[in-house]
Structure 1
């Protein structure tokens, strides 16, 4: 009897697909992926291959990052060394002290995550000494304007934080030192720091970032107030195109459109005698007093009133020990750095990252310490320090 069963069907062999290779992707896709990675990983990624190293060049990768909106806030710390040299560092911040509660009290408990202080990859001999307060950050560039104290200069030096290279900007029309600066709407305002009589017509200069040009405005006439020409301003900021000055316990405004000065208050709302440092974030001004109180006020000139940030009583005990304080905008968070001769070594700086929240229809600002830490720098000591942030 013949079996009617057919021949067994042979199973088709499955041929495994070759493993996909990252290098086989189109260059545009690879570049888009790398642009979304933190810039802190770029040094390691550039060692993977020559193509990666080419794609991660500042000219290529930051153009793509800008197109897709992938930006990071980078912190720079410049140390003024005793030999009058400046050393720059980039700060890669990791929360090293977490806020916890023990026995009903708020404390700051350290963990093992750590942080890094990375020297910037340009020679200190190529970076000019950092001025005291005439410096502004616009986007990914840091502007050093004029000369150091008692060394007037027309020069403008610009640090490109993408490539960490310095270049010369257009000179001001007059030489300045110890001038006051403020930035608003991609313009940098420079006030004073020059010979008041000889440079009256150029007492104020405004630098347009887009056109890379300077525009000069005259200073105040003598009948406005003599204190305005003393170059000793506790606070300078720009709101809705008007320049605000707090000088000699009085508040003034200047409107560049019609060239008019106005005395806003006989008694300044700014706590000039006790303020260590101040900064501006999203039309809100923040300052720190010598007793460690963190204060805030809106940028509106009329009716300006200073109030204390609530919820930071524990942090105030740290801040009041500092003999030098810096503040900066860290992506919407308030970064406060200070050196305490009682708590720090000669090469250490404390910092706190603070999250801010507006409450009660904008009548109150509350703060919460996200992390608190001390940074150690690879130097024996420093005379002073400066904290800057840039969006890269």
Structure 2
């Protein structure tokens, strides 16, 4: 009885799927389902929390109650309480005016609302990170450094909050509902290389200062592993490459230096920050000069080669490549070996064996959208 009652509504939803990027511009329509037995709000919320998050945008078209429920953020809180986390990918490719979000299998995608920034921000370099259900995009507008914040629940962009020490070319990582940043170049008049670090909490939309690192570093990378925030590589204030890393223990509120974690890394002043990702608490790197996937051996402080990746990371010295953790898989997005000249992107995932006993099995997930550039300007993964 219930499935037949929703036939008309399903037809409306499917008809509007082509306008997925503009869901906030469509008024939800209330329908009369008074002849159906009603469920308690608590049960309805529990049921909806178990629906794939990539399908939530359809609730915007059902009725105003569901619209209000989405905007309240209550569904995401219930998902966290039930241990339900679903990764989705937020991406901005070269030449694209809009951000896009994809489900973890890249079977469905939608365009985010237009980011209401000025032309300077649109054309300039940007850096992104996720914290809870917030996507933060850092860049520079005509009037100065700014952070734009996309809130998933509201499906809207908001300006701020700014970091305590605005920066670029910094390391970042997220853990549950908070995000860490460290190092980088100060976006002020002096352009100092920083040793400061901060934590962003989406609950109060604020940044908190953390203790300073042992080293000043820019062009560094961050990750979260062993319940610690790691900052690895980069360059110091003299432009010299750093082979050391350090990790922050939030329980002890201290940094620990890790000597020579990148001692075998190739030296190149124009390469990207280290391409790092953590899967199942194991640290992996994509070496841009050789296109080799490596795993970090914690006990010996060494790296082990696992095989080549199916994208050309060496074509732009590691720039324009997305190398991310996607749940229990590695995600790599970039130009394919036979298409690096601009024929489109390749999206692949794999579940690597950290012991190196099994050959890498890459799964091809398509090209995202037709004719999208393979050069990825920004890519972040949200777990919610």
Task: Return the TM-score normalized by structure 1.
Answer: 0.66
CA distance in 2, matches of 1:144, 1:174: 15
SS state at 1:64 partner: helix
- In structure 1, runs of 5+ residues without a counterpart are 1-18, 96-114, 221-227
**Closer, same or farther in 2 for the Cα pair 1:277/1:35, shift >3 Å?**
same
Who is 2:294 aligned against? 295
**Closer, same or farther in 2 for the Cα pair 1:277/1:54, shift >3 Å?**
same
Q: Which has the higher strand share?
A: 1
Who is 2:324 aligned against? 328
CA distance in 1, matches of 2:123, 2:180: 17
> In the alignment, which of 98, 112, 115 is matched to residue 87 of structure 1?
98
Who is 1:69 aligned against? 83
After TM superposition, the structure 1 = structure 2 runs for residues 7-46 of structure 1, keeping only pairs within 5 Å, are: 24-46=38-60
**Closer, same or farther in 2 for the Cα pair 1:126/1:305, shift >3 Å?**
same
Who is 1:351 aligned against? 347
1:37 Cα offset (Å): 1.5
1:74 Cα offset (Å): 1.0
1:51 Cα offset (Å): 4.8
CA distance in 2, matches of 1:56, 1:259: 38
Who is 2:18 aligned against? none
After TM superposition, the structure 1 = structure 2 runs for residues 217-296 of structure 1, keeping only pairs within 5 Å, are: 217=211, 231-233=218-220, 235-237=221-223, 241=228, 244-247=231-234, 248=241, 250-253=243-246, 264-265=259-260, 268-271=263-266, 273=268, 277-290=275-288, 291-296=290-295
Tell me if the contact between 2:196 and 2:213 (Cα under 8 Å) persists in the aligned partners: yes
After TM superposition, the structure 1 = structure 2 runs for residues 128-139 of structure 1, keeping only pairs within 5 Å, are: 129=122, 134-139=127-132
CA distance in 2, matches of 1:133, 1:282: 28
| Deviation string, structure 1 residues 205-232 (Cα, Å, up to 9, x no partner) | 3225267333265576xxxxxxx65734
**Closer, same or farther in 2 for the Cα pair 1:269/1:139, shift >3 Å?**
farther
Who is 1:368 aligned against? 361
| Deviation string, structure 1 residues 144-202 (Cα, Å, up to 9, x no partner) | 34x3599973x433322333322344433334333333445735132130289968797
Q: How many residues align?
A: 331
Q: Tell me the C-alpha RMSD between the 2 structures.
A: 4.4
CA distance in 2, matches of 1:54, 1:266: 49
Task: Tell which structure's C-alpha radius of gyration is larger.
Answer: 1
> In the alignment, which of 141, 157, 162 is matched to residue 153 of structure 2?
162
> In the alignment, which of 211, 215, 228 is matched to residue 209 of structure 2?
215
Does residue 1:205 correspond to 2:204, yes or no?
Answer: no
CA distance in 1, matches of 2:129, 2:38: 43
| Deviation string, structure 1 residues 205-262 (Cα, Å, up to 9, x no partner) | 3225267333265576xxxxxxx657344x4456665754324153144779798885
Tell me if the contact between 1:35 and 1:65 (Cα under 8 Å) persists in the aligned partners: yes
**Closer, same or farther in 2 for the Cα pair 1:345/1:87, shift >3 Å?**
farther
Tell me if the contact between 2:133 and 2:152 (Cα under 8 Å) persists in the aligned partners: yes
> In the alignment, which of 279, 295, 305 is matched to residue 302 of structure 2?
305
1:77 Cα offset (Å): 1.4
Who is 2:10 aligned against? none
**Closer, same or farther in 2 for the Cα pair 1:170/1:50, shift >3 Å?**
closer
**Closer, same or farther in 2 for the Cα pair 1:161/1:52, shift >3 Å?**
closer
1:272 Cα offset (Å): 5.5
Does residue 1:387 correspond to 2:383, yes or no?
Answer: no
